[in-house]
Structure 1
């Protein structure tokens, strides 16, 4: 029988192949895709052609294509997320670079849809390699498809219902013979007489060939033999193709001898393993019963331990709070006193002849009202000073200036202006164009009416300060004991310092230097307990007189928070013991010896660590906590 015409033969093989075939140019864009690939991907050719490999949704495949463009062939088997249809397929993919005299000029991607296959042994990579495709002109396409056929990594035959008509070079290598030994021969000539299932090769080959010609592609295991009659296991795929109007079969043969040997080895290993499992199962049953009983006892003990530990943590927190309660009460009483005083000041304005104040304002002309407005605005805000030497000096200068300008009642007038926050440099602008006899009345009127706003501002600031103290106290005592949240260390430090303000405002210099990113994840109440204990220890070490440095910085993936005091330091002979539970250097009744032990356990639960160094004049405790973005909660 004559061989089929070469015209369009390779194009037909490409288009009708049951395997998905794609060709990428050297820029990584798809320039060819056969029908099988479009069917697998459930996408039209208009959506595929021109698509760049870098735009593929599945980065695993796009990286393989990238390697191919660099001259590296590669295989992949597993899930694949399609770009156009959004499907997830189980595929076997082979990427082969295409070479010409200039180097790599493109890539072929060969893939087979394995989604419906049930057995792992059927999922083998379908590889085609060394496809030479010219990109520039339409007349070079046949060269591309011929290169694809001849450089495939599997043996490929073309045959009619009886004999082979064409084969690729891989076929010669696999069967150990020349092309002329294959063309004109039948599949039975390269098979033993009987297949492993006991069926004659001729009978089974006839069945498979007829089924494939009937439109049902066939994939099956087959025992082939080489020219020297040595056998090897193969996987064969038969597909009906039409070339020049004539129905033929395309056969793809893959050597699976290695896979078969591996399967046999695995089967033997499994048999040995099953025997060992049976023996070990009985041993494990008795051990498991013992472990279950032991585990039950341990769980009960653990629950008791957790309960006891929680009570100790709360007791330590309340002990710290008890030391601060008198100062906190003072911090609340002071703004409350300011509020009461300011309220009396507001009422005193209305108890005076307020109708007279309004009438006086109504009698002012436009120039006088403009001056009144400036004085009123100054008096409605907090002055820069109160009853201080600077204020008295300012009052004296104002009085002398007014006397020099010839204003009457300069003593009372200068006192009002000074209390309103008027400076000497403001006087010329205020008295310009104002009658001397009327100026004291104008100032007294603005002073009395602006007092309402001054006292209101005092009430607002005092209430804000009291609310801040109460909020800090409430946060310290009633924080959520279970939830994991994002925590800003700077806010927690401010909360603790608010509770200590009355104790340290006169004698401790506090310096803060925190990193911009001072965020961690954890339990807020537990970390607040750590800062409260460390800061409380530092204040006690310096007897509330000295300097406290609070700092944080980032090192690697950790936020390092440090608390440093300039106290006498921890004696070297006890430095190894300060984290031991119930160890304390304080007087009886002043400490439980649990503070640092609790701090250490809390920090370790947050995947961190705590350490310190100490010498006379400087002691630093450092807490290392993972940065918030590095923790998986």
Structure 2
């Protein structure tokens, strides 16, 4: 490490040079680099020797000179910059995007810069945007295939047989207008001459997924008899099974057996292709809202995972290097103990055992300075060196109170490196504790992402802890909330209910993210849970501008959205309503006015 730095803390030196995060130190007066680690130099495609002693202007690393001026201006004003995305030029002219932070240190003498290369992450964000665009295209494709198909296509409720929609070709085939068909059944219209068991057909479709090549005869509005070949499949729309039927008129070729067989063969192939295309498009539409939200989460979750991983890497390297020198430390301990009596050795060991069990204390700046000064004076008085460094390390380890309370034992460490050996081992324990916390944090994020990412509409109901499903979503949105959102949890109950966990996570995702967007990610988000004997209510509240009165009646309509094109499919609240009311047999209500919007989801416990 460079002699310009005043600290002699070896741990800090090791962390700087071996950190997986790029770090550099710049002289604020001259603008010249005085130190940079290997990661920082690798961003620029340069060696350490090419960087040290040069300025950013000498190296020409800013693709936009205004970025440098903006950073310097903020540093002079605030003394710190945090998480700025800055494009930098490498030695070979390529561009890397760095998430950069900086702080003025040493009383304004140096700028300490640190950052991460997020070029790959930016590429993922671009791919997520492309995916969203493709999903929008898939929706439009589905509409086009349905409306413009020359074959007669109908969508009907698989449970009640009521028509949901038909295309123009279907109207021409049966002779009824679209208005005469929608909301009625084929039995109401007396269309089918051929009798078939609709329930048996539905059972076969649910088991196999599709059927094709079935011949039937129909009666048009005028009484004319027409012969058709049909293809059928079950789609999941509006939270329930929907029967998709495609009819091809084969009346003319029915008179010629050979022509009929040929037509059926060729048109069956066409039906298979159309059904396959429609099924794929439908699957994409069902997942579009979830995938669009998942794409928005990628960047934030990556940042949340990278931070604990960086800490784990740094601390594990430190522990690895220290454990390699364990044998030498045993010799040092042996030599130290040879200078003490057995009684003194037992006193020291008991003291160390207690030292390693106390909870470390975190000090504010003023307390830290006072504790360091008190310890330093004690060490100077006892002739224990190096007094300042030992005091600094003890305060950083959070054990200064314990040391001072047992200062009668400090005389044992005079003219002996034993105290420094004990502190080094205690620092290793702190590193292990930091790694454990980082692992817990990463595991929680990965579990939440895994829970969010899976989605199976055919799963059976199971017993679910409602708080767990909400916390899964809040964990994924933590990165988006931490800079401007206050999240208030009013969990007046912690109930288990019978439901579909994937769909509940989707419900909370839509309601919470809509609230965050409404507040422009600045405000108070309140999640409240209450329960009665038979049901649970979850309330999601925000203090945003509210929902305009003129659109409140339409917010649950499928494909209705007030967002810009490409930012949403309009499926979100429609999916929420269908899942709550049809899948979970509950109900959803909302109240909105300027400064307050609240969605209430009522769910039965059983």
Normalising by structure 1, what TM-score?
Answer: 0.49
Matches for 1:99-138 after TM superposition, within 5 Å = none
Counterpart selection for 1:606 from 560, 584, 595 = 584
Counterpart selection for 1:518 from 462, 482, 495 = 495
- 3-state SS of 1:448 partner: helix
- What is the aligned partner in structure 1 of residue 13 from structure 2? none
- What is the aligned partner in structure 2 of residue 432 from structure 1? 408
Q: Is the 8 A contact 1:372 1:442 kept in 2?
A: no
- 3-state SS of 1:435 partner: helix
- 3-state SS of 1:561 partner: strand
- What is the aligned partner in structure 1 of residue 333 from structure 2? 358
Displacement of 1:532 in angstroms is: 0.8
After TM superposition, the structure 1 stretch with the greater mean CA deviation from structure 2, 467-476 or 547-556, is 547-556
Q: Is the 8 A contact 1:583 1:593 kept in 2?
A: yes
Deviations 1:452-478 (A, max 9, x none): 322222222212211211111111112
- 3-state SS of 2:585 partner: coil
CA distance in 2, matches of 1:390, 1:433: 23
Displacement of 1:350 in angstroms is: 3.3
Distance 1:569 1:504, change over 3 A: same
- What is the aligned partner in structure 1 of residue 386 from structure 2? 409
- What is the aligned partner in structure 1 of residue 288 from structure 2? 315
- 3-state SS of 1:432 partner: helix
- 3-state SS of 2:411 partner: coil
Displacement of 1:435 in angstroms is: 2.2
Unaligned regions of 5+ residues in structure 1, if any?
A: 1-282, 629-633
Distance 1:304 1:502, change over 3 A: closer
Distance 1:603 1:447, change over 3 A: same
- What is the aligned partner in structure 2 of residue 627 from structure 1? 605
Matches for 1:481-560 after TM superposition, within 5 Å = 481=457, 482-555=459-532, 557-560=534-537
Q: Is the 8 A contact 2:329 2:421 kept in 1?
A: no
Q: Is the 8 A contact 2:308 2:439 kept in 1?
A: yes
Q: Is the 8 A contact 2:382 2:411 kept in 1?
A: no
Q: Is the 8 A contact 1:336 1:462 kept in 2?
A: yes
CA distance in 1, matches of 2:411, 2:527: 58
CA distance in 2, matches of 1:390, 1:575: 55
Between the two proteins, the alignment pairs up a number of residues equal to: 344
CA distance in 2, matches of 1:320, 1:381: 45
Deviations 1:342-395 (A, max 9, x none): 112113323554244432553354445534554565457773438966544532
CA distance in 1, matches of 2:554, 2:377: 69
CA distance in 1, matches of 2:524, 2:374: 39
Displacement of 1:311 in angstroms is: 4.0
Distance 1:435 1:304, change over 3 A: closer
Q: Is the 8 A contact 1:378 1:421 kept in 2?
A: no
CA distance in 2, matches of 1:545, 1:368: 59
Distance 1:359 1:405, change over 3 A: closer
CA distance in 2, matches of 1:584, 1:360: 76
Distance 1:326 1:388, change over 3 A: farther
Q: Is the 8 A contact 2:586 2:604 kept in 1?
A: yes
Bigger radius of gyration: 1
Normalising by structure 2, what TM-score?
Answer: 0.51
Q: Is the 8 A contact 1:379 1:420 kept in 2?
A: no
After TM superposition, the structure 1 stretch with the greater mean CA deviation from structure 2, 404-413 or 465-474, is 404-413
Distance 1:555 1:355, change over 3 A: closer
Counterpart selection for 1:337 from 306, 310, 318 = 310
Q: Is the 8 A contact 1:368 1:434 kept in 2?
A: no
Distance 1:608 1:296, change over 3 A: same
Choose between structure 1 and 2 for higher RCO, CA contacts under 8 A separated by at least 6 residues: 2
Q: Is the 8 A contact 1:376 1:449 kept in 2?
A: no
- 3-state SS of 1:553 partner: strand
- What is the aligned partner in structure 2 of residue 441 from structure 1? 417
Displacement of 1:322 in angstroms is: 0.6
CA distance in 2, matches of 1:613, 1:456: 49
